[in-house]
Amino acid sequence: MVMKRILVGMGTCGLSAGAQKVYDRLEELADEGTAEVELSRTGCIGMCYREPLVEVREGESRIIYGDVDAELAEQIYRTHVLGDEEVSDSVVYRQEGPDGEIGGSESSYHILQKRIVLRNCGTIDPESIKEYESAGGYQALRKALEDMTSEEIIDEVKASGLRGRGGAGFPTGLKWSFAAANEADTKYVVCNADEGDPGAFMDRSVLEGDPHSVLEGMIICARAIGADQGYIYCRAEYPLAIRRLNVAIAAAREKGYLGEDILGSGIDFDIRIKQGAGAFVCGEETALFASIEGRRGMPRLRPPFPAEKGLWGKPTNNNNVETYANVPWILTRGADEYAKIGTEKSKGTKVFALAGKVRRGGLAEVPMGTTIRELVFDVGGGIKQGRDFKAVQIGGPSGGCIPEELADIPVDFESIPETGAIMGSGGLVVMDDTTCMVEIARFFLDFTQKESCGKCTFCRIGTLRMLEILERLTKGEGEPEDMEKLSRLGEQIKQSSLCGLGQTAPNPVLTTMRYFEDEYRAHIEEDRCPAGSCLALVDFHIDPEKCVGCTLCAKSCPVEAISGEPKEPHEIDNSVCVRCGKCISSCNFDAIYKS
């Protein structure tokens, strides 16, 4: 009889949903000794919208249960683990072997996915180096040390077509070759795990679920370029990721994968963690280097580029978490296998964090070339509450908004920039018909304006002037020339800013103006918000056909703007109403609406 294995998803998403209580209850049951089972923690399984998740494995078959609490955990244990009978109502995913039949209520979430970066996330204990090794971990490093020269490693990465997953999409192997070509007594390998985009959690999930894959990719890079020191720049707001990285680094040192004379190769390389303070601009590599050096995180002019003079003036290679996590798979499976996935110019897969008005918020890894519509509907399950799909924000706060009519374009490094947006690191915020695109532009510009380091006048002052215009528009104080001002300012900021933050900060404004001009004009010319989102531009009404006169809305109103007799339809005085929305949330009859 094959021993059953129970995995509890204990990434940040799982823990915040109550996974610790689930794990504790399963541990109590396992300690009873009524069955021979193995209980393990794991990282994010991917379906964050159904956390806490519990997986029961028996041989090659896997069954995942969703929305598990302590009570359901006990039922799963007694019915499935002890009794070999599924708790069928709670099964969200089922697979009979690696290539077997797929089922479960959420099976369509997985059908389009191809897991390379996330190959171990949700399947191994991230704090166990033995489990990583059992899954093939550090075999790529052994191959790089024992069977390949530095040039051969770089050539293999080049042949794979891997491009940087931090947003710019620069060819990874080519980048490595630049650092390798520069001679120096010290070289550095840096991993950018800053991930400051609102709605993005790809890198955090990889670090929490499979930290060794990132370490292995960095060590292979060090072997390729001749580096002897590495840094992982991870924001301090990721305490679980940092803790698991520290555990992984200590285990790798103990096993001889880090430190002096790695695996007897004569190569020395070690990794340290630098905790960032949350400055978005430190996602730009030269600002990141300044922060590691103990200085204020501000970008500098390039050239010289980091491959020549980076951290402490030494040749440095910087990639993000997802890029490094791809490397062990490429060296193990071969560049040709990797290059078969994706499109002609954008090879491999891309990890996306689905957030916003999508039904299935979570982590998904799909081949490059998958369309936005497939991501939103086939993977994400469509729009919440059956509302109309309006747009997606891709590429973070300095990305851009792509409307529904362009949702069939492929997600790759060539197609997305044609829309005016950028690929970014993989955040995908989905919006429905209740979203005001002027307010969305204001929200993201407010973020980037506050995060500007202030070095460039156009970024520091230009974004502030744009933000002031957008704030006026959302209050119904727009002027006829505002759109022309926004367009002119946006282009000047893009052309005149030093770093990527300033150069892309206007994107949300420019793309929403490009695709949703009618909404801007409604705000300016009609003092109206078509989405009913800008509270200064909407009135609240009570439908007399639906109102039963329960008086709950009147009792909840903080300014006594609602009047009416009990059991009679009520009315709202919009000259008094402060648009707080408490009346809508208190109404049990859907009788209150905005217009």
Structural domains of the chain, count: 5
Q: Are 281 and 451 in contact (CB under 8 A)?
A: yes
- Sheet with 229-235, edge to edge strand ranges: 270-276, 229-235, 188-193, 316-320
Asked if 297 and 358 sit in the same domain, the reply is: no
Q: Mark whether 156 and 252 lie in a shared domain.
A: yes
Same domain for 183 and 107? no
97, 144: one domain? no
Candidate from 250-254, 415-419, 575-579 with smallest mean pLDDT: 575-579
Query: Which residue from 455, 460, 514 is spatially nearest to 486, judged by alpha carbons?
Result: 514
Do 466 and 421 reside in the same domain of the chain? no
**Same domain, yes or no, for 213 and 319?**
yes
Q: Is residue 116 in a domain?
A: no
Tally of helices (H runs) and strands (E runs) in the chain: 25, 19
Residue 81 has pLDDT above 90, yes or no: yes
* 321 in any annotated domain: yes
Q: pLDDT tens, 101-125?
A: 888 999 999 999 999 999 999 999 9
Specify the DSSP class assigned to residue 264: G
* Residue 534 falls inside a structural domain: no
Residue of 166 and 351 predicted with greater confidence:
351
Per-residue pLDDT, 1 = 54
The answer to whether residues 505 and 447 touch, using CB atoms and an 8 Å cutoff, is no
- Which pLDDT belongs to residue 34? 79
Report how far residue 44's alpha carbon sits from residue 93's, in angstroms, rounded to the nearest whole number.
15
Residues 137, 269 within the same domain? yes
Q: What is the CATH number of the domain that holds 201?
A: 3.40.50.11540
Residue 485 lies in a domain: yes
Percent of the residues in the chain that have a pLDDT greater than 90, as a whole number: 85
Kindly state whether residue 333 falls inside one of the protein's structural domains.
yes
Q: What residues contact residue 77 under an 8 Å CB cut-off, 6+ apart?
A: 6, 26, 29, 30
Say yes or no to pLDDT of 244 above 70: yes
- pLDDT above 80 (res 100): no
CATH code at position 25: 3.40.30.10
Q: In which domain, by residue range, is 142 found? A: 129-337
Domain final residue pick, 49, 83, 111: 111
Same-domain status, 382 and 323 = no
Q: Which residue has the higher pLDDT, 199 or 287?
A: 287
Average pLDDT in the chain: 94
Asked whether residue 387 falls in the same domain as residue 509, the answer is no
Q: What are phi and psi of 65, to 5 degrees?
A: -105, 140
- Do 224 and 269 share a structural domain? yes
Which strand (E) or helix (H) includes residue 61? strand 61-65
